[in-house]
A and B are shown apart, each in its own frame.
Chain A
Amino acid sequence: MALRRLAGNRLALLVAAVIAYALAAWAVAPGFYDGIAPPQPYRWVSPPPQFRSNNQQPLPGHGTVRVASNGTVDPGTVFTQDGQASISFVPGAFVAPADRSPVTIDIKPVPSYPDPGSTHVATNVYCVTSTSPPAAGRDLLVSLQFSDQFPAPSDVYEYQADGPWKKIGSTGTAAPFSIAARATSLGCFAGGYPADAGRTAQGPRVSGGQTLPIIVALAIVVVVLAGIPLAVLRRRGGGGDEEEGSG
């Protein structure tokens, strides 16, 4: 009987773990992701001469975000299909449509753009549009990959309509060969650096933006860590039938 109960406990824990994983993984796209960075050849809209023969065109991205029951637009991240550009946002980052219809976000690489002047554009230029405007006072996190064959960009630059370009900085990112910055409005984005600057180094930086996911992650870690002393106390108290047998 005890063995049967133990087997039941194990099955119950496994089922609970599967459900927890499904819920957590569903909250972010693509889901499971182990950080093995795949620096595939950068896809250029207009490839440099040495990459013209093997270049693949960059892909656009499209995402839909629903309006939650409390009337705010859900948080999320929209990637281009090749992963070269993404935009992340916190809850309420977009104005909720009056009819509570989902907000659609598109990221598109563009072949032509205003003259960047004294700035060297080191990535493709990606234009981001949405069916509902960003909410005032809420930042969006724009992340752009760049080629490992060229100097790393120092900042993210943005322009709207016909320009001009303006520097919006860099918040740092944990992913190799990528740069990120907070934007207060949608527009067209690219990584770049002053044309007269030499190669810029990509130093160690910590991810920025997205306060809510950080809080959630910390909460999970705290719960897990708090569970250890509780488990120890339970064991010392002789409670729990999770004592296991061998193989």
Chain B
Amino acid sequence: MRFPSLALPGAPVRAVGLAIMAVGLEWARVLALRTPDLQAVTLVAGGAALCLLGVGHQPAELGLERTRLAERLVGGLALAGILLLPAAVRWGGGPGLGPAFGVAAVVVSVGEEIAYRGAIFRALEEVFGPAAAILGSTAAWTLAHALSHPPAFLPAVAAAGLLLAAWRWAVRDLVGPIVGHVLADLAL
């Protein structure tokens, strides 16, 4: 007996679909956050959902390799320093994250990196090449933040996405962006 084979969508459709799913998940999370209750839980659920977009990939395909781990971690620290420097220079105090939101920030950061610089980057690179992967993942990342950020912040969001995607391509690494993103979110 033969089972009918499932026709998997083509690579371009998969890449675009991943981007749409990631942006949709982020927007759903932002809209859910408008409800005052269970905000930290909503954030954690949204971040975990983004992590699921990496399912089906080998860690190496997403840039999550164990080789040169020390270098990757140091790279993550460097990225965190770059991301936080403009705020650190001008810092005049502000609200910090409580423990529950600290956990949520970690999950959201990891989820966003796995989704944008991991799965979406990989899918776009496979089909269109590295330049499209950098630009496309940055566009999706910026669009995903359109609901949660005041318009004035979007250029900085786009530039941060470009920086993290550039790292992903130049170093073939996702550990650095994850570390940098997590630290930056925890600090601000």
Within 8 A of B (CB), among A23-46: 23-40
A214 interface residue per 8 A CB criterion: yes
A114 interface residue per 8 A CB criterion: no
Pick the contact of B151 from A11, A210, A224 — CB < 8 Å?
A210
- Report the Cα distance A207→B162, complex, angstroms: 24
A68 interface residue per 8 A CB criterion: no
How near does chain A come to B49, taking the closest CB pair, in angstroms? 16
What chain B residues lie within 8 Å of A22 (beta carbons)? 82, 85-86
B151 touches A214 (CB 8 A): yes
A217 touches B84 (CB 8 A): no
- Count A-B pairs with CB separation below 8 Å: 222
- Report the Cα distance A234→B130, complex, angstroms: 12
B131 touches A32 (CB 8 A): no
Within 8 A of A (CB), among B148-171: 148-156, 158-160, 162-163, 166-167, 169-171
A242 touches B131 (CB 8 A): yes
Pick the contact of A246 from B153, B159, B163, B172 — CB < 8 Å?
B172
- Report the Cα distance A232→B138, complex, angstroms: 16
B62 interface residue per 8 A CB criterion: no
Chain A residues near B (Cβ < 8 Å): 10-11, 13-14, 16-18, 20-40, 59, 62, 75, 77, 79, 81-83, 88, 148, 173-177, 202-204, 206-207, 210, 213-214, 216-217, 220-221, 224-225, 227-228, 231-232, 234-235, 240, 242-244, 246-247
8 nearest A-B pairs in the assembled complex, by CB-CB distance: A31-B86, A231-B131, A217-B154, A24-B159, A10-B170, A35-B148, A30-B87, A25-B86
B158 touches A174 (CB 8 A): no
A13 touches B82 (CB 8 A): no
Chain B interface residue number, banded = 35 or more
- Report the Cα distance A235→B82, complex, angstroms: 31
Chain B residues near A (Cβ < 8 Å): 30-31, 33-34, 36, 39, 43, 60, 65, 67, 82-87, 90-98, 101, 104-105, 108-109, 128-132, 134-136, 138-139, 142-143, 145-156, 158-160, 162-163, 166-167, 169-172, 181, 184-185, 188
- Report the Cα distance A149→B154, complex, angstroms: 30
On whether A34 and B142 interact (CB within 8 A), knowing A22-B86, A231-B128, A234-B131, the answer reads no
- Report the Cα distance A235→B155, complex, angstroms: 27
What chain A residues lie within 8 Å of B143 (beta carbons)? 221
- Report the Cα distance A202→B142, complex, angstroms: 25
- Report the Cα distance A202→B30, complex, angstroms: 13
Pick the contact of A36 from B92, B104, B158, B170 — CB < 8 Å?
B104
A28 touches B132 (CB 8 A): no
A231 touches B34 (CB 8 A): no
B36 touches A177 (CB 8 A): yes
Pick the contact of B150 from A24, A88, A177, A235 — CB < 8 Å?
A88
Pick the contact of A40 from B98, B134, B154, B162 — CB < 8 Å?
B98
- Report the Cα distance A44→B90, complex, angstroms: 25
Query: Considering only CB atoms, which chain A residue lies closest to B149 in the complex?
Result: A35
A32 touches B156 (CB 8 A): yes
Pick the contact of B105 from A36, A83, A175, A206 — CB < 8 Å?
A36
Query: Considering only CB atoms, which chain B residue lies closest to A173 in the complex?
Result: B150
Query: Considering only CB atoms, which chain A residue lies closest to B127 in the complex?
Result: A232
Query: Considering only CB atoms, which chain A residue lies closest to B83 in the complex?
Result: A32
A-B contact pairs, 29 of them (CB 8 A): A16-B166, A17-B163, A17-B166, A20-B162, A21-B156, A21-B159, A22-B82, A22-B86, A25-B160, A28-B153, A29-B90, A30-B188, A32-B160, A34-B181, A34-B188, A35-B30, A35-B148, A36-B104, A36-B105, A82-B94, A174-B148, A210-B150, A210-B151, A213-B150, A213-B151, A217-B146, A225-B135, A247-B60, A247-B65
